[in-house]
Every structure is written in C-alpha cells, then in structure tokens.
Amino acid sequence: MSEATAHHDAHAAPTGFVRRYLFSMDHKVIGIQYWILALVAVFIGMALSFLMRLQIAYPDTPFAFLEALFPKGAEGGQLTPEFYLSMVTMHGTIMVFFVLTTAPQGGFGNWGLPIQIGARDMAFPFLNMMSFWVTFLAFVAIIIALFFAGGAPLGGWTGYPPLSALGPEAGPGQGWGMTWWIISIALFCVASLIGSLNFIVTTLVLRCKGMTLMRMPLTCWGWFTTAILSLLSFPVLLGAGVLLLLDRHAGTSFFLPSNLVVGGKPVDHSGGSPILFQHLFWFFGHPEVYIAILPGMGAVSQIIATCARKPIFGYRAMVYAIFAIGGLGFFVWGHHMFISGMNPYTAVAFSVLTLTIGVPSAVKTINWLGTIWGGKIRFNTPMLFSLGFVSVFVSGGLGGIFLGQSSVDLFLHDTYFVVGHFHLTMGVSAIFGIFAGTYYWFPKMFGRMMHEGMGKAHFFISLIGVYLIFIPMHTIGMGGAPRRYYDSTSFKYLEDIISMNSMITWAAFITIGAQAIFVVNLIWTMLAGKKASDNPWEATTLEWICATPPVHLNFDEDPVVHHGPYEYSVPGAEKDYIMQTDPPSAVPAGTPAQH
C-alpha cells in the first residue's frame, strides 16, 4: 500500500464497548458522537429560547413553574433582567459553538469526509478522538458556567469586555461563571485546531485512486474549506480568550480602558482597549458564520443534485464560490464594529468587501436553482430541508445587504433586525442543513430509513414557523426594538410591537413543539424503522457503495473512482445515475461532457 494509507493498518477493529463506542478512533463513531453532542446541545439551547420568548411576550405575568425551576433567577415567577441576559448568553454560545460548529463539521464531516473520498479513516485517528473529547470537555465547562452558583455569565455570546473582563464586581455571573465560559471557549478552540488540521491533511493525501480534487463531492469541498477557516480563525479567538483570562485573573488590562467606573467605584485598571477585543473576536467571528454554513451548503448541493436527478449546475463555479466566500470572509469583520467608532473610510472599505460576498453567494443560489430547473425532482424529506435551506438562506441574506452598509447599520445595529437576520442566515439555515443531512445520511449511519410522513410534517411546520418567528423580528427591529433586552413593553415608543411580539412567541412555541416530531421520528426509526437498502436515494458517491452501516475501515477493498460525483441522467446510460466507482464504460462513448 502507498505510504499515505499504510498507517491505517495500525489500528485494527476494536472490540469491547469502551474502545468501540466511547474512546473509538473510527471516524464514523466519532462523527456520530459529535452529532449526538450537538443534539443534546440544541435541545438545551432551544429550552433557553423558550424561556426567553415567554419572558418577552409576557414580561408582567408571573409563572409558578418558573419560580419552581429557578428560585433565584425567577423570584415570584418572573425572570430578573440578569437572568434573562444569562439565558441570551448561554443560548447563543451553545447554539453557535456546540450546535452549528459541532454537528455540520465535527458530526457529518467526520462521518462523511473519509468515506466520500474513499479513505479508510482520517489521517490522524487518535487526534480525531482527542478532538471530540476536548470538545466534550468544552461542553462540560459551558454547562458548569450555566449552573455555576454565582450565576451564568451575561456578556452575550460575543463576551465583550469591559463587562466580561472585570470579575464579580461587574454583576452576577461575572465571577467564576464567566471564567468557565472563557475556559469552555478556549478548549473549543483547541479542539477545532486538532480537528481542522486532520480534515485538511486527510483531504490532501488520503483520496483514493481516481479521486481527483475536481471529482470530490461538494460536501468534501465544504468540509475542507471550513477546516481551513477554522485553522486560521480559532487561534485568534484563542489569543483573545487568553488575554481575557489574564485580565480577569492576572491583573492585566488588555481590554480594560483607563478611567472606568463600575457600580460607582473606579476600576483598578488602565491602558487597555475593549475595541481591541472586538477586532480579535470578529476576526474569528465572521469566518465562524461560514464555518457554520459552508458544510450545510455542501450537503445541500449534494442532496439537491441527487433528488433532482441532475448533475450539479456549474460544479467548478460552486467550488470557486465556496473558496471566494471563505476567503472574503476574513476581510469583512469590521461590519460588526461600524458603531464602535471607526474611520468612515475604513467603514466604506468594510462595506464594499461585505457586499462583495453577495456575489459568490448569489452564484451558489443560482446554481442550486439551475440544478433543480427541469429536474425530475423527488420531494423527499432531505430534499425538502435542502430547498428550505436555500429559501431561508436567501431570505436572511437579503437583510445582510442592509446591515452591510455602514450608514444603515448605524440605525439597525443592536436591534431585533440583527436577531432576525442572523437567525435566518446562520442559525436556521445551518440547522436545516443539519436536518437535511440527518434525514439523508441516517439510513447509512444507522441502517434504517427515517419516517417520511413525520419528516414532512416536521419540515413544513418548521419552515412556516421559522418564517413567522424571524421575519417579523426584522420589522420590530426597524421599529427600534432593542436586542438583548428583557422587557420592551416598558417603552412608550414600542407599544405597537407588543402584539407582534406575542405572535412571534406563539410561533416559537409551535416551532419548538414541532421538534418533538423529529425526536419521535428518531426514536421510532431506531426501534422500528424500515431497514435501509445500500443506496436508498440512488446517489453516486462512495458512502453508498459501503455496507449499511459501513464496516470498520469502510471498504472491503480500496475503491477506484472513474467518474465525477454528480453523473445523473447521463444520456444513453443504463440507469439514471452512474456510481463514482462504476467502470468508465458506464458512460456511453461519445456522450458530451456534463456539468
């Protein structure tokens, strides 16, 4: 065997529960571990959003169950402002890091990348195992922060100083709760460094014979590019996190300005700058939104081509667009800081660069539409969630065109317009990508088909629900409703939005409730779902030639690839799809090139 794959012989199929399912080095098991972690996290995050929405719609109504659950945070059945803020913080942090960064890349990426490029495993199976367990530790740390006696931190998922750098005197939750929050984020940075390094090396050196770069499924391009973004952005966040910890515990003042007064008392720090933190944070933060979304874009491209029975429209354009989005993503962080005070010329530069990202995003959208155009579309659940992804991503993206202009952003910044925008573009899109991937790969991961009827019900209620939640948020944001605020009914000028806020809350309750359908579907499928055939979607990529579920080391013999990933409906071919491993003769001689 070539040297690239030789080391795999080192790890034979493990026996015993612990080595097999807990400390496994098999990329498929690790992928599923990540996926389960994200599943747990998303329900915690969702529960928090339920409480927030309850508070927003009924700020003056006491609820006995709240007091029973949180004797301190909801004394008398009503949430305190600090408690609301700590929920905003925890909801955002858990969702961004432990759901959107964990499931698409750590989960599906780990499970799918090696198989789809025809490798036996990741390049560094041991590091792979480590990256999961460090992520797990980070998750434990965030849960500790959530339940820490002094209260969970209030700084928002962005953890801005000075608040986050001060310590207990800055309010409840700013003591050890905040420190644990930072520890969690730092651990997460380390885990993603290990993970992304592994993804990049694997993609570069472990592709099987015939798997040229331009024959890789777009999913692999998504994971590969995401890994590059992680490798380059998380270390900067790590740096910021270390400095923040030092500010809190070593007396430095990196992010604490001179002459700061907190609670009437002057603070014993001087010489630092909170804006410095914003630069470091958003240098990571903007690429992070692409880390969340690119794997979803890859999965959606894959599913749309498969279910439209057509080659993806403009494969190369799709690849270049992924790279363009990823690359430009490093030069736009300033659009989060228009209001922090910056030279207007700098703002113009950041504006223009930001709007430029619209171009590759539009290329992707048009190519998705081009792919379904005239296709023989199969409207199964993975396809529905993929189309939902495109719809929601575009709807949310339109708001970005407003926010990207510095002059408009001055008005919209820190309003609900932003909340509506990022939930649609990054939150819901990525979640829809995760759902699409789950319904699509579940048969291969666990050997059973998820229930279609429940899947469709889940999709339609969720789709309508998220639109009813997040589009009106744009409207109330334009009306001036502030973000991260626990009771906007107390403002005269916001009286008109109260009814809309309760409507949003009820839409949120229904949407959250609809996720029960998904849970029931998962459990039902695991117990009684229909056995899946090896290739239920009649797809072309390599995971579908594997056993169901795939064996340890994936393939019985090393696959050899002869075709691109999207050879659907090739004129004159026997079937309407050609597996990547089918012999070259599967394409009739003289057939014009596709995609």
Partner 1 sequence: MSETETNVETTTSLWGGGVTPYKGISHIKLGMWLFIISDALTFSALLFGYAYLRNASPNWPDPFKFFPSILVSTLMTFCLLTSSLTMVLAVHHSQHGDRAKAFKWILATMLGGMAFLVLHANEWRELIHHGMTTFSNPWGDSMFGATFFTITGLHMTHVLSGVIYLGVVAWRLERRKTFDDEVEVAGLYWHFVDLVWMFVFPLLYLMSVDMGGN
Question: Which residues form the interface with partner 1 (CB under 8 A)?
Answer: 2-4, 7, 117-118, 123-124, 127, 193, 196-198, 200-201, 204-215, 231-232, 234-236, 238-240, 242-243, 246, 250-254, 268-273, 276, 279-280, 283, 315-316, 558, 560-564, 567, 584, 587, 591, 593-595
Q: Which of residues 82-141 bind Cu ion (CB under 5 A)?
A: none
Contact 266, 321 (CB under 8 A): no
d(CA 240, CA 242): 5
Nearest to 400 by CA among 381, 380, 426: 426
Residue from 100, 113, 123, 291 touching ligand HEM (CB under 6 A): that is 100
Total count of residues recorded for the chain: 595
Strands 448-449 and 261-262: unpaired
Residue selected from 92, 195, 314, 326 as contacting ligand HEM according to rule CB under 6 A: 92
113 interface partner picked from ligand HEM, Cu ion, partner 1, none, CB below 5 to 8 A per type: none
Near ligand HEM in 9-68, by CB under 6 A: 46, 49, 52-53
Residue closer to partner 1 by CB (options 272, 388) is: 272
Ranges of H-type helices in 309-415: 315-328, 344-356, 358-372, 381-403, 406-412
Buried (b) or exposed (e) across 64-88, using 16+ Cβ within 10 A? Answer: eebbeebeebbeeebbbebbbbbbb
Which of 286, 310, 448, 595 touches Cu ion by CB under 5 A?
286
Burial 438-457 (b: 16+ CB within 10 A, else e): bbbbbbbbbbbbbbeebbeb
Cα separation of 185 and 180, whole Å? Answer: 9
Binding partner at 445 among ligand HEM, partner 1, Cu ion, none, C-beta below 5 to 8 Å by kind: none
Radius of gyration from C-alpha coordinates of the chain: 24
> Hey, how many other C-beta atoms are within 10 angstroms of the C-beta on 561?
22
The nearer residue to ligand HEM, 240 or 532, going by C-beta atoms, is 240
Interaction partner, residue 594 (ligand HEM, Cu ion, partner 1, none; CB < 5-8 Å by kind)? partner 1
Q: Which is nearer to partner 1, 273 or 502 (CB)?
A: 273
Which one of partner 1, ligand HEM, Cu ion, none interacts with residue 397, CB within 5 to 8 A by kind?
none
413 binds Cu ion (CB under 5 A): no
Minimum distance between the CB of residue 223 and ligand HEM, rounded to whole angstroms?
Answer: 19
- Spatial contact of 124 and 201, defined as CB atoms under 8 Å apart: yes
* Residues 154, 156, 158: CA angle, nearest 5 degrees: 135
193 interface partner picked from Cu ion, partner 1, ligand HEM, none, CB below 5 to 8 A per type = partner 1
What whole-number distance in Å separates Cα of residue 100 and Cα of residue 294?
11
286 binds, among ligand HEM, partner 1, Cu ion, none (CB under 5 to 8 A by kind): Cu ion
Q: Which is nearer to ligand HEM, 513 or 583 (CB)?
A: 513
How many C-beta atoms lie closer than 10 Å to residue 586's C-beta?
A: 17
Choose among ligand HEM, partner 1, Cu ion, none what residue 2 binds, the Cβ cut-off being 5 to 8 Å by kind. partner 1
Number of H helices, E strands in the chain: 20, 4
CA 474 – CA 486 distance, rounded (Å): 18
Compute the least distance from the CB of residue 112 to ligand HEM, in Å: 22
The encoded tokens of residue 512 equal: 């959250």
CB contact burial 168-206 (16+ within 10 A = b; e otherwise): eebbbbbbbbbbbbbbbbbbbbbbbbbbbbbbbbbbeeb
Indicate which of ligand HEM, partner 1, Cu ion, none lies near residue 46 (CB less than 5 to 8 Å, by partner kind).
ligand HEM
Print the SS3 string covering 482-499. ECCCCCHHHCHHHHHHHH
**Torsion sign, CA atoms 133, 139, 144, 145:** positive
CB closer to ligand HEM, 459 vs 485: 485
Choosing from 24, 89, 131, 351, the residue that interacts with ligand HEM (CB under 6 A) is 89
Question: Least distance (Å) from ligand HEM to the CB of residue 88?
Answer: 5
Q: Which among 144-152, 237-245, 279-287, 427-435 is the span making contact with Cu ion, rule CB under 5 A?
A: 279-287
Pick out residues in 449-508 that bind ligand HEM (CB under 6 A). Answer: 469, 483-485, 508
| Shortest separation between residue 321's beta carbon and Cu ion, angstroms | 18
**Number of other residues whose CB lies within 10 A of the CB of residue 355:** 15
- Contact partner at residue 290 from ligand HEM, partner 1, Cu ion, none, CB < 5 to 8 Å by partner kind: none
**Binding partner of residue 591 among Cu ion, partner 1, ligand HEM, none, CB cut-off 5 to 8 Å per kind:** partner 1
Distances (CA, A) of 185 to 137, 245, 248, 483, 487: 10, 11, 15, 23, 29
Cβ contacts of 216 within 8 Å, gap of 6 or more? 116, 117, 203, 207, 224, 565
Phi, psi values for residue 530, rounded to 5°: -65, 135
Q: Are 166 and 174 in contact (CB under 8 A)?
A: yes
Q: Give least dist CB 440 to partner 1, A.
A: 24
Q: In angstroms, give the least distance from the CB of 205 to partner 1.
A: 4
Closest separation in Å from C-beta 135 to partner 1: 16
- Near ligand HEM by CB under 6 A: residue from 427, 433, 447, 559: 427
Candidate ranges 88-96, 101-109, 127-135, 378-386; the one touching ligand HEM (CB under 6 A):
88-96
Give the nearer residue to Cu ion in terms of CB position, either 286 or 595.
Answer: 286
Minimum CB distance to ligand HEM smaller for 305 or for 436: 436
Q: Residue 264 in contact with residue 208, Cβ under 8 Å?
A: no
Identify what 96 binds: Cu ion, ligand HEM, partner 1, none; CB under 5 to 8 Å per kind: ligand HEM
User: Which of 41, 88, 186, 424: binder of ligand HEM (CB under 6 A)?
Assistant: 88
Q: Specify the residue, 125 or 399, whose C-beta has the smaller distance to ligand HEM.
A: 399
Nearer to ligand HEM, 238 or 426 (CB): 426
* Binding region for Cu ion (CB under 5 A) out of 283-291, 299-307, 311-319, 521-529: 283-291
Task: List residues binding Cu ion (CB under 5 A).
Answer: 286
Task: List residues binding ligand HEM (CB under 6 A).
Answer: 46, 49, 52-53, 88-89, 91-92, 95-96, 100, 156-158, 419, 423, 426-427, 431, 469, 483-485, 508, 511-512
